[in-house]
A and B are shown apart, each in its own frame.
Chain A
Amino acid sequence: MASLSEEVLLVVKRVRQRKQDGTLYLMAERIAWGPEGKDRFTVSHLYADIRCQKISPDGKAKIQLQLVLHTGESTTFHFTNESTALKDRETTKDLLQQLLPKFKKKANKELEEKNRMLQEDPVLFQLYKDLVVSQVISAEEFWTNRLSLSSPDHSLSINNNTNNKQEVGISAAFLADIRPQTDGCNGLRYNLTTDIIESIFRTYPTVKQKYAENVPHNMTEKEFWTRFFQSHYFHRDRISTGLQDIFSECAKQDEKGLKSMVTQGVKNPMVDLLSLEDKTLDEGYGTATVPTPSNSSNKSLRENSNCAIIKRFNHHSAMVLAAGLRKPEAPSDQVSETSSTDGNSRDSDLFQPPIKKVKLQEAIEYDDLQGDSGRKTISLNLKKSDRYSHGPVPLQSQQYTTSQDMINSISIIQQEMRSYKPRLTQVMSSSAASSAIISLSPGGVLMQGGGQQTINQLVPTDVQSELKHLYMAAGELLRHFWSCFPVSTPFLEEKVIKMKSNLEKFQVTKLRPFQEKIQRQYLSSNLTGHLEEMLQAAYSKFQAWQTRRMMRKT
């Protein structure tokens, strides 16, 4: 089948599954296993379906790898090649470890997105029920258009914020969550999850860098993390023993980072302890004992390590905080781009008073003593005030009214209104006025077509809502149908044919029963006339297209 075109990443021979020898294949999107001597797979899982993998502990006789699926099922592979079993298993595990997170995220994100859309939009949910649950079209078809709608071409509009999802911060205690467990035989076991690893990387970029440098060419991932936990870096309070510690450099860099943070100083002058005192006592004055420089060198080991702990906590908290605040790069670029093009946002920054003034004012403010007038408001910070007041305007339109023009004209109107005096001699006659009112009232000459409104009274509500759903479903299908034109690719051709059959299916399974129902209730069958018309239009379009295609073919 499709496996022919798939890229095979890894082949492991002599793997048993259900007591049967066979070969394990790791492909780009799935993992598969086929029994020996046969050329088809009896086991095949998409990576997206796999929840996690488990391995048998080292030292066990059987070297196994278990895949747990989202559905809860699991498949166990037993590596039986005596000499290389462990190595095989490790390579498989490592590869899987790299592959799984990619698919996991993708699958989850998509599922979440779909779920969210359905929950937020009851209309869509109804549509989904009508079309997908009743199997008019498949779920995939239903979503193909939806998702593409929401992601790329609309990304500039409201959906923007769903697109660059909010970053989740890091738990301050993520290192605490990897509490070592003793495994009984004088060893420690650390449980690392991808989340924790990501947290470590985000909080300590230096570790990430080390990881990138060393894994996998210098050491395996496992070795890397083992070293990490053994390192002086992780246990900062312990005094280092291993000189070959690859993390000593990290510690140094952190120290440097901390130093630079300190020397940078603080932005808020109210918390700057250095400039707090106006006049410090000169050296030699005062009762406080002077900390002599010789003092620090002879500090006991314990005191030093205590200091290190305190430093480490400050640093850790700062890093966690920074990691949470670190913005994804792309959007910030966008902002800078837009702001540089219109130039509007720039000068708004100029109006912001310096931070010191603000902080001082904040500090002396008593909001309860103040009258109401002093209520603070958040000023609207507009990038393009024109766009705000009259929405996006097609650029090619020549008679572009600026906001100044509009303000002018409004003020002119206001002035006119102020000096407006009704000229009572030139008003309409009362008969003319009343006839005008009549013709504007429902049922009047100018309000014809308002007869449709009577459907409210004529048709019971359940039928109405059913009709509404039908309209929506039909609309959705037709939208799919019409979006295929002009039919330029074979894919679209295929789709348009499918859509046509979908429409017919819809007419048979949904519309017909409804028509029969309203006939049974002796309501005017006119209700579905418009629906029929729309379908008919689609059919005739399809007919025309098909005949044209036949002609071209012949």
Chain B
Amino acid sequence: MKLNIEGLLVYFPYDYIYPEQYSYMLELKRTLDAKGHGVLEMPSGTGKTISLLSLIVAYQKAYPLEVTKLVYCSRTVPEIEKVVEELRKLMDYYAKQTGVKNDFLALALSSRKNLCIHPEVSSLRFGKEVDGKCHSLTASYIRAQHQSNPSQPVCQFFEEFDAVGRQVPIPPGIYNLDDLKDFGRRKGWCPYFLARYAILHANIVVYSYHYLLDPKIADLVSKELAKKSVVVFDEAHNIDNVCIDSMSVNITRRTLDRCQTNVETLQNTISRIKETDAAKLREEYRRLVEGLKEANVARETDIYLSNPVLPDEILQEAVPGSIRTAEHFVGFIKRFLEYLKARLRIHHVVQESAPQFLKDIYEKVCIDRKPLRFCAERLRSLLRTLEIADIADFSAITLISHFATLVSTYSKGFTIIIEPFEDRTPTIANPVLHFSCMDPSIAIKPVFGRFQSVIITSGTLSPLDIYPRILDFHPVTMASFTMTLARTCLCPLIVGRGNDQVAMTSKFETREDFAVIRNYGNLLLEMSAIVPDGIVAFFTSYIYMENIVASWYEQGILENIQRNKLIFIETQDAAETSMALEKYQEACENGRGAILLSVARGKVSEGIDFVHHFGRAVIMFGVPYVYTQSRILKARLEYLRDQFQIRENDFLTFDAMRHAAQCVGRAIRGKTDYGLMIFADKRYARADKRGKLPRWIQEHLTDGSLNLTIDETVQLAKHFLRQMAQPFRREDQLGLSLLTLEQLQSEDMLQKIAQIAQQA
């Protein structure tokens, strides 16, 4: 249907529309108009992606000069592919309606592992191997060697692409990962480099968060993206952790040992080159004197996305003299390495700030702050000069150099924690230096700064106001949308007590309590008897799940559950879990029914949807608080309190609730779907917890379902399931939660729609 969103003609590729989709598009349009950032929460399964795509594509078509590019970031590879498929649907609809051939170029970008078509390289299993092998075939000096020595293997796909691929633009169309591979095979071009090149002039790019947020990758891939782009972070409820992860560094003794060998290799290579090709080193020296001007110019003229590891200030200066020659630099690194080794030789925990660390290093080994800051850049230059083929081998020294640059650049937002052993195993020495980022805004700042509009959206972003605070930006719109429902297809229940009236909670003091574990078991057992098909149960942590499973096994609860359903359990091994997942789905498909025991914050809870019969009930055992004893977390909480005035408890609860909501939200994917959401912990009933659930779940949480016993839960669940099992037709929804174009245009409907969005 064709929609009129405040004067913008939007093609929407369906015959019907959900009211909240319309409302969502309105908010989105306002954000784009204001050229600002937005935070939008809309329940999963209400067609968020297609609404986003429809509106932004329409906007791009209407104002091609205002918005030149859409950069859509999602979390997982299947998500990325799903987005591209939805886009394809939209574009097909455009072509059908307007009769004009599609002139948009949209493509997905992923790592080499998913795009490589080289027969040998692509057969490798792990991403890192693929990257390394690819690099060894495509590095510039390897190709130069190939010129003189044809027996040196190169990748013919890359050669072909390099020869002609850049001149001929890739024809407009929608390219998913497989389409890119097909295209590459047809042309004989490397799809990965083709895609990386093509994103610069593509209208729509779909890729993963890391390409924008991880400075190491963003610098390679995304730094030349146009300023007038709209950036969308979908499933963004975890974006702060992604930011923090990309800026944090852990250094173990093993890292240092490997770094040591790296340094030795460098030293040998340098001395060898000095004998054979001294000119090369001199050339590098000259370049370093001139400084990083080139990059500086580019950034000033707004061509490049800035890189937090490569701060603006250092670009204006030349690399300091003390590390300019290759030998000096290697010596410098050696000194730094020795210092780190000494620091790891401790017997008690040390926590210090970056300035303290710098002061200490200056006092102990006379390393200045300035050369440290240039470490990363200097190493890059050296590796290039020395023509090191396998960058993967040098990951340790690269890590150290990044650490050096970061620690000397940021005096705030980071902390250094050196732990001599793990908390659980105090007898085994395993010193680790955590250089931990506490401020997610550092990594995402360049993105907010550079791009015109950044949209942060997800099914669970409540409470909305916390994201702008921790990411440090000022959104122009913040809205949470509810799900209009013709029948209440979600049934959140808070179970607080067992039938024996013992409180059910995963609170630390009582979590090992026999009665609690037994009650949890009884809850699962009872549910397994009444819920059809699939049940997914989430535990707060892996260790807790292991313990509970073991004691359920001893008490014979699992055996009784097995009478009703098959049991599958997430393990720490991803391959094993994948298999369990597939079998779980198989068991749901063939009618046997199954239970999946899983972990909140685990891979399953983050990436797998349990649509329809794959998840008729989700049980959240306990409140998934993060492990609060960790020093890194404590440091971060302190930082949040001091810098953003967020109280520790507020943040912890917020974090726990977003994960809980994420887990239970996995079961509902659309209005024809239905599912029970069982929160098995009495603490959920408290206002501070309940209030942090997304609005679309809170709405259906009545006072009567706050502190139930298992029996009551079973009664309510039975009632709910029986109701849901009735046939549900389009007519039931029409006019309420599903609209035709005429219905949408009616006056009172528009008024109703205005209430769907709740501005925060």
Chain A residues with CB under 8 Å of chain B are: 169, 171-173, 175-176, 179, 237, 258, 261-263, 265-290, 292, 294-295, 298, 302-303, 305-307, 309-311, 313-314, 317-318, 320-321, 324-325, 356, 360-361, 363-364, 366-371
How many whole Å from B160's CB to the nearest CB in chain A?
25
Neighbour of A263 across the interface among B569, B575, B592, CB < 8 A: B575
Residues of A within 8 A of B249 (CB): 284-285
Some 15 contacts from A to B, beta carbons below 8 A apart, are A172-B563, A176-B559, A237-B553, A262-B578, A268-B582, A276-B607, A283-B399, A285-B249, A285-B399, A289-B422, A313-B568, A317-B568, A317-B580, A360-B81, A367-B672
Find out whether the CB atom of B14 lies under 8 angstroms from the CB atom of A279.
no
Find out whether the CB atom of A271 lies under 8 angstroms from the CB atom of B568.
no
Find out whether the CB atom of A262 lies under 8 angstroms from the CB atom of B575.
yes
If A292-B252, A317-B587 touch, whether A273 touches B607 (CB-CB below 8 Å) is yes
Residues of A within 8 A of B262 (CB): none
Supplied contacts A173-B560, A286-B246, A298-B428, 9 more A-B pairs, CB within 8 Å: A172-B562, A265-B575, A267-B582, A271-B578, A271-B582, A272-B578, A287-B437, A306-B549, A369-B17
Alpha-carbon distance A295/B573, docked complex (angstroms): 15
B85 at the interface (CB under 8 A from A): yes
B752 at the interface (CB under 8 A from A): no
Find out whether the CB atom of A277 lies under 8 angstroms from the CB atom of B77.
yes
Binds A, one of B191-199, B206-214, B456-464: B206-214
Find out whether the CB atom of A303 lies under 8 angstroms from the CB atom of B546.
yes
Residues of B within 8 A of A321 (CB): 566, 583, 586-587, 590, 592
Find out whether the CB atom of B582 lies under 8 angstroms from the CB atom of A266.
yes
Neighbour of B592 across the interface among A169, A258, A276, CB < 8 A: A169
If A176-B556, A274-B575 touch, whether A369 touches B581 (CB-CB below 8 Å) is no
Alpha-carbon distance A217/B254, docked complex (angstroms): 56
Find out whether the CB atom of B738 lies under 8 angstroms from the CB atom of A364.
no
Residues of A within 8 A of B730 (CB): 368
Tally of contact residues, B, Cβ under 8 A: 101
Find out whether the CB atom of A313 lies under 8 angstroms from the CB atom of B77.
no
B385 at the interface (CB under 8 A from A): no
Interface positions of B from 556 to 572, Cβ below 8 Å from A: 556, 558-560, 562-563, 565-569, 571
Residues of A within 8 A of B547 (CB): 306
Alpha-carbon distance A282/B128, docked complex (angstroms): 9
If A294-B430, A317-B568, A317-B594 touch, whether A283 touches B580 (CB-CB below 8 Å) is no
Residues of B within 8 A of A369 (CB): 14-18, 47, 738
Interface positions of B from 514 to 566, Cβ below 8 Å from A: 546-547, 549-550, 553, 556, 558-560, 562-563, 565-566
- What is the chain A residue whose CB lies nearest that of B591? A169
Alpha-carbon distance A190/B128, docked complex (angstroms): 53
If A268-B582, A310-B549, A369-B738 touch, whether A284 touches B632 (CB-CB below 8 Å) is no
Find out whether the CB atom of A176 lies under 8 angstroms from the CB atom of B562.
yes
Alpha-carbon distance A286/B80, docked complex (angstroms): 23
If A265-B575, A287-B245, A369-B14 touch, whether A279 touches B395 (CB-CB below 8 Å) is no
- What is the chain B residue whose CB lies nearest that of A292? B430
B604 at the interface (CB under 8 A from A): yes
Chain B residues with CB under 8 Å of chain A are: 14-18, 47, 49-50, 76-78, 80-82, 85-86, 89, 110-111, 113-114, 127-128, 178, 207-208, 210-211, 214, 216-217, 241, 244-246, 248-252, 254-255, 395-396, 399, 422, 425, 428, 430, 432, 434, 436-437, 546-547, 549-550, 553, 556, 558-560, 562-563, 565-569, 571, 573-583, 585-587, 590, 592, 594, 603-604, 607-609, 611, 630, 632, 670-672, 730, 733, 738
How many whole Å from A36's CB to the nearest CB in chain B?
51
Find out whether the CB atom of B47 lies under 8 angstroms from the CB atom of A325.
no
Find out whether the CB atom of A271 lies under 8 angstroms from the CB atom of B608.
yes
Find out whether the CB atom of B576 lies under 8 angstroms from the CB atom of A314.
yes
Alpha-carbon distance A295/B430, docked complex (angstroms): 10
Find out whether the CB atom of A364 lies under 8 angstroms from the CB atom of B246.
no
Alpha-carbon distance A267/B583, docked complex (angstroms): 11
- What is the chain A residue whose CB lies nearest that of B400? A284
Find out whether the CB atom of B546 lies under 8 angstroms from the CB atom of A273.
no
If A273-B603, A284-B250 touch, whether A314 touches B578 (CB-CB below 8 Å) is no
Alpha-carbon distance A237/B552, docked complex (angstroms): 13
Find out whether the CB atom of A171 lies under 8 angstroms from the CB atom of B110.
no
How many whole Å from A105's CB to the nearest CB in chain B?
25
Find out whether the CB atom of A276 lies under 8 angstroms from the CB atom of B210.
no
Number of A-B contacts (CB under 8 A): 233
Find out whether the CB atom of A313 lies under 8 angstroms from the CB atom of B558.
yes
Find out whether the CB atom of B217 lies under 8 angstroms from the CB atom of A305.
no
Alpha-carbon distance A360/B571, docked complex (angstroms): 26
Find out whether the CB atom of B14 lies under 8 angstroms from the CB atom of A284.
no
Residues of B within 8 A of A237 (CB): 550, 553
Alpha-carbon distance A59/B525, docked complex (angstroms): 41
Residues of A within 8 A of B579 (CB): 261-262, 265-266, 314, 318
If A284-B399, A287-B245 touch, whether A273 touches B553 (CB-CB below 8 Å) is no
Neighbour of B78 across the interface among A276, A285, A310, A367, CB < 8 A: A276
Neighbour of A262 across the interface among B428, B576, B671, CB < 8 A: B576
Alpha-carbon distance A429/B470, docked complex (angstroms): 98
- What is the chain B residue whose CB lies nearest that of A278? B208
If A273-B604, A284-B395 touch, whether A175 touches B559 (CB-CB below 8 Å) is yes
Residues of A within 8 A of B587 (CB): 317, 321
Alpha-carbon distance A279/B566, docked complex (angstroms): 34
Residues of B within 8 A of A371 (CB): 14-16
How many whole Å from A261's CB to the nearest CB in chain B?
6
- What is the chain B residue whose CB lies nearest that of A307? B546
Alpha-carbon distance A1/B325, docked complex (angstroms): 112
Residues of A within 8 A of B246 (CB): 281, 285-286
Find out whether the CB atom of A317 lies under 8 angstroms from the CB atom of B582.
no
Find out whether the CB atom of A278 lies under 8 angstroms from the CB atom of B15.
no
Residues of A within 8 A of B559 (CB): 173, 175-176
If A281-B246, A282-B399, A286-B245 touch, whether A275 touches B114 (CB-CB below 8 Å) is yes
Among A258, A284, A305, A317: residue with most chain B CB under 10 A: A284
Find out whether the CB atom of B546 lies under 8 angstroms from the CB atom of A306.
yes
- What is the chain B residue whose CB lies nearest that of A318? B583
Find out whether the CB atom of A313 lies under 8 angstroms from the CB atom of B569.
yes
Neighbour of A274 across the interface among B251, B252, B578, CB < 8 A: B578
Find out whether the CB atom of A273 lies under 8 angstroms from the CB atom of B672.
no
Find out whether the CB atom of B127 lies under 8 angstroms from the CB atom of A279.
yes
Residues of B within 8 A of A294 (CB): 428, 430
Find out whether the CB atom of B578 lies under 8 angstroms from the CB atom of A278.
no
How many whole Å from A334's CB to the nearest CB in chain B?
22
Find out whether the CB atom of B578 lies under 8 angstroms from the CB atom of A364.
no
How many whole Å from B10's CB to the nearest CB in chain A?
15
Find out whether the CB atom of A284 lies under 8 angstroms from the CB atom of B396.
yes
Alpha-carbon distance A289/B250, docked complex (angstroms): 8
Find out whether the CB atom of A363 lies under 8 angstroms from the CB atom of B560.
no
Neighbour of B14 across the interface among A263, A270, A370, CB < 8 A: A370
Find out whether the CB atom of B567 lies under 8 angstroms from the CB atom of A313.
yes
If A310-B546, A318-B579, A368-B671 touch, whether A298 touches B567 (CB-CB below 8 Å) is no
Alpha-carbon distance A176/B630, docked complex (angstroms): 41
- What is the chain A residue whose CB lies nearest that of B210? A279
Alpha-carbon distance A279/B549, docked complex (angstroms): 32
How many whole Å from B619's CB to the nearest CB in chain A?
17
Alpha-carbon distance A364/B587, docked complex (angstroms): 23
Residues of B within 8 A of A325 (CB): 586, 590
How many whole Å from A479's CB to the nearest CB in chain B?
43
Find out whether the CB atom of B594 lies under 8 angstroms from the CB atom of A364.
no
How many whole Å from B443's CB to the nearest CB in chain A?
12
Alpha-carbon distance A477/B607, docked complex (angstroms): 70
How many whole Å from A22's CB to the nearest CB in chain B?
46
How many whole Å from A385's CB to the nearest CB in chain B?
29
Alpha-carbon distance A441/B332, docked complex (angstroms): 116
Alpha-carbon distance A406/B47, docked complex (angstroms): 48
Alpha-carbon distance A171/B560, docked complex (angstroms): 11
Find out whether the CB atom of B549 lies under 8 angstroms from the CB atom of A278.
no
Alpha-carbon distance A302/B547, docked complex (angstroms): 9
Find out whether the CB atom of B558 lies under 8 angstroms from the CB atom of A290.
no
Among A271, A276, A306: residue with most chain B CB under 10 A: A271
